[in-house]
Each structure stands twice: as C-alpha cells, then as structure tokens.
Structure 1
C-alpha cells in the first residue's frame, strides 16, 4: 500500500513538473518578456501630448475605459478599401502593421488613405522574414527598410514593429531598441490565415478579447483561398459585438497613453 501510494505521489509530482516545464516553455519560447498596456501607461513622456483616443463621448482614457486595439497585419492589399470602409462606418481607428515590399511600395495611395482616415501605420518589416532565423545585419535591414517605406509614403516614421509571426528574441529586441522602436505582439488571434470561415474567425476573437487586448487580423489576399479571405466579412461582427460589450476601439499608441512606447519593449 505504501509503495503504491509513493508511486502515485511520484507520478503526480512528475505530472506537475512536466506541466510546469511546459508552461515555462510556452511563456519563454519566443525569448522575450512582454509589457502589458497597463504597465506601459506608467511610462509617461516628460513632454508632448498623450495620444488619447477620441470617442463618441469625447476623449477616451484607457486607464478608465474598457479599451481594445484592432490591428491588421501584412497589407495593404486590394482588400484594404473594404476594411477602411467598414472601420469608417463604425467610427473605429485601427493600427496597420504593413509590409514594405509588394505592399506599401505597390499600394502607396492606400497607405495615404489609411493615414488620412486617422489610422496608425506601423511596420511588419520589409518582406516578412522571420527575424529569429536571420543574421543581425538582415534583421536590421528588414526593420529599417520596412520602416522607411512607410515614412517615404506618409512622411511619418513608424515607431512600432510587429515581428513577423510574433517571433522575437533578445537579439531582435536589442536591434529594435537601437533603431528607436518598440515591438507589439497580440493577445487575441483570429487565426484568419487558417480558415475562410468568417463566423469562426469572429468566434475566436470574441472568446479571447479582454480589456487592454490587442487583436490580430490580416489585411492580405490569399491566392490559394486557404485563409485571409474570410477576414473582411468577420470585421463588422467583431466590432459590433465588442462595442455592445462596452469596448472602445483605439490604436495601439492610444492604448498605451498617457504612456509612450519605449524602444526595446515588447507590448502584449
């Protein structure tokens, strides 16, 4: 009996340790420590206006309001005008993490349209190479060329970087810091790159979104029709459902206000 009990306790302890190791692996597998929007709000700039959002009732302070940031990766594309029209209909501003090659440089007017409508335009790098798999020189080149493409079109230099696939590391973060950029990942993922089912994309986002959330969707065309093609149809349902729950949509910078993005930080 005692031997059996010891075996059971041993197995139980092994299971707990395995789960702990798994949890540590999941939290640390990308090689970075993230900062929450709430923590970011404590890093208030010594001067300059805070990037507070403007809502139907006036200025929105995310220290008090129930805020969420809607972000789109990988555009602009031929679907961008549809997304912009939906955002305008719901009076929502989003953050677009753009690709320089084949996107910003191919659709410069769409990028200017984003800016004209008050959206935040940042970078997803130049060509979506996975930054943790390339050399330091290549990392710097990807970030710099993606950032500069946006600046060339809009006149405004991005300060936020979304690392492709959310993969970053101490090396990537150090280079981003040296370039004066902060990184932004996400807390709610529609996985719209895996399905064309708009209802499923909507369901995923609504299940994962919490106050101070950062939502990931994609502004991209998939010629294989495997994914992305359900995104546009999902956006109205996501926005209307979250607004009904009391959420206010803001850009990433507005989510962090009155704090300002700190180079070298990873926000999630």
Structure 2
C-alpha cells in the first residue's frame, strides 16, 4: 500500500488529508509490481532489441531518466506550473482528479494535453479503491476517463490509485478499463508542508535513475519548488520523461502495477 495527498488547503481536501496521514511503507500494495527496467527488458527479451523505440526518443536504458508526476489537480496553480515546464522544456505526467478538478478546469486539462504532457487518471473523488466494491471502483475510474476524453479526445491509459492502495480486484477493474497502475519511488510529502525549500530537498534527496517523483500541484508550497527541483536534477545528469517514455520501448499493460 501507498499514500499521497493533502495539506494546507482545507475544504474539499479534508478527506484527502485525513487519508494522507496514513503514511504507509513502500512495497506494501499487495500485488506484484513491475519496474521500469523490467518493462523495457521484456521488449528487449522478446525481439532482441533494446533502445527507445521511436526515432529521437530518449533511451532510458542508457540515460538517467526520471519521471515528474503531479497528483490531484488541476488546480489554480497548474497554469503557472505549465508555464514552468514549458520554459524548462520538461514533460510531466498529470494524474487528474475528476470532481472539482477536471470538471472545474477543463481548459487547463486541454492545455496539459496540448502541450505534450501525459494525462492520467486519479479517480473521480479520491476514494480508497481497496475499500470499495468492483462496481464502485469502476465508477470512480470510468467517470474520470469519460470526462478527460470529452476534453482531450483521448482516454487515459494510466491511473494512480489514491494512497497507492491496490489489490487484485482493483487491478482487474483497471485492466477492464485499459488502465495501468503507476506508483512512485519518491514523494516530498508536500501535502503536509508549505515549505518549498523542504519540498525541494526531499525530492532531490530521493531522486534516482528510473525514478518516479510524486508531487501535487494543488498545494501552496509545491509549484514554487519545481524550478529548483528541475534545475538541480538536470545538474545531476537526470533526463526528465513522461511515465510512458520511462517504460519505452515497453508499454504500460492494463491492470499491471508499475513501481521503481
């Protein structure tokens, strides 16, 4: 099981914050996970070739790649975040929350997609999926799938379960909906602090090759920390990629859990 969520802003985020207080150990999600290297290796084993696939794509088997991901948006600060990513020429993966986020900021969702970032699913209301019945899980995911498709013309292929909690039932519903599950290797716990310097330090301290960074673009301290995080990790030789790029030439298989 995993975690993520909330911090300073209250209101609709209170339930998420309560969930976030359950800080769970990495690796306890209850189902087997595939690493990015294993995803790439499966393709190499099957066709005898490695590499990045498409011409000009990053070969994360050779480069020190890292994926920057943001949960639970979009929010009021997301346009500023997109400005930063555009200026820094960094792609990211956005796991979007449906209710009061996707439905409140449709133009921001469209901009995320139009600017080449990966648009992914973080459920409709952030309910803990392992506490639900299969039909409820299907509703949480499919409502966000449909809302994003209406805006971008494309359904996501990736999802992140709230708190990283998943099990065989969640995996099966995800498979039915064409969604792979993406966990993470480092989080700044930005739901619990507005200290941008601390968010920066926690992120860069935990960064590693083939890593997946979890941040949230809905908390006050996060977006101001992003420029410094990007600059420092670039200085350390990291190449920023989306989650699909991190797995390439492998592809995220529906229902499978991926975790560095």
TM-score between the two structures when normalised by the length of structure 1? 0.82
What residue number does 1:158 align with? 156
Counterpart of 2:34 in 1: which secondary structure? Answer: coil
- Count of residue pairs the alignment pairs up: 232
Residues 173-198 of structure 1: per-residue CA shift (max 9 Å, x gap): 11111222110010010100000001
Asked if the contact 2:70/2:95 (under 8 Å) is kept, the reply is yes
Equivalent of residue 248 in structure 2, options 236, 240, 257: 257
How do 1:169-184 and structure 2 match up within 5 A? 169-184=167-182
What residue number does 2:31 align with? 32
CA RMSD of aligned residues (A): 2.1
How much has 1:29 moved relative to structure 2? 3.4
Q: Unaligned 5+ residue runs, structure 2?
A: 1-23
Asked if the contact 2:164/2:183 (under 8 Å) is kept, the reply is yes
How much has 1:52 moved relative to structure 2? 6.0
What residue number does 2:127 align with? 129
How much has 1:109 moved relative to structure 2? 0.5
What residue number does 2:166 align with? 168
How much has 1:30 moved relative to structure 2? 2.4
How much has 1:152 moved relative to structure 2? 1.0
How do 1:191-202 and structure 2 match up within 5 A? 191-202=189-200
Counterpart of 1:60 in 2: which secondary structure? Answer: coil
Supply the distance in 2 between the matched residues of 1:193 and 1:51 (Cα, whole angstroms).
Answer: 34
How much has 1:264 moved relative to structure 2? 1.5
Counterpart of 2:95 in 1: which secondary structure? Answer: strand
Supply the distance in 2 between the matched residues of 1:167 and 1:237 (Cα, whole angstroms).
Answer: 30
TM-score between the two structures when normalised by the length of structure 2? 0.84
Supply the distance in 2 between the matched residues of 1:108 and 1:238 (Cα, whole angstroms).
Answer: 27
Supply the distance in 2 between the matched residues of 1:241 and 1:28 (Cα, whole angstroms).
Answer: 27
What residue number does 1:42 align with? 41
How do 1:79-158 and structure 2 match up within 5 A? 79-158=77-156
Asked if the contact 2:199/2:225 (under 8 Å) is kept, the reply is yes
Supply the distance in 1 between the matched residues of 2:178 and 2:114 (Cα, whole angstroms).
Answer: 25
Residues 86-120 of structure 1: per-residue CA shift (max 9 Å, x gap): 10111000000001111111111101111111111
Asked if the contact 1:43/1:260 (under 8 Å) is kept, the reply is no
Residue range with higher mean Cα deviation, 144-153 or 183-192: 144-153
Residues 204-227 of structure 1: per-residue CA shift (max 9 Å, x gap): 11111110000000021xxxxxxx
Q: Unaligned 5+ residue runs, structure 1?
A: 1-24, 221-227
Residues 146-197 of structure 1: per-residue CA shift (max 9 Å, x gap): 1111111100110101001111111111111122211001001010000000
Supply the distance in 2 between the matched residues of 1:53 and 1:86 (Cα, whole angstroms).
Answer: 26
Q: Max radius of gyration: which structure?
A: 1
Asked if the contact 2:52/2:59 (under 8 Å) is kept, the reply is no
How much has 1:51 moved relative to structure 2? 7.4
Asked if the contact 1:126/1:142 (under 8 Å) is kept, the reply is yes
Asked if the contact 1:51/1:253 (under 8 Å) is kept, the reply is no
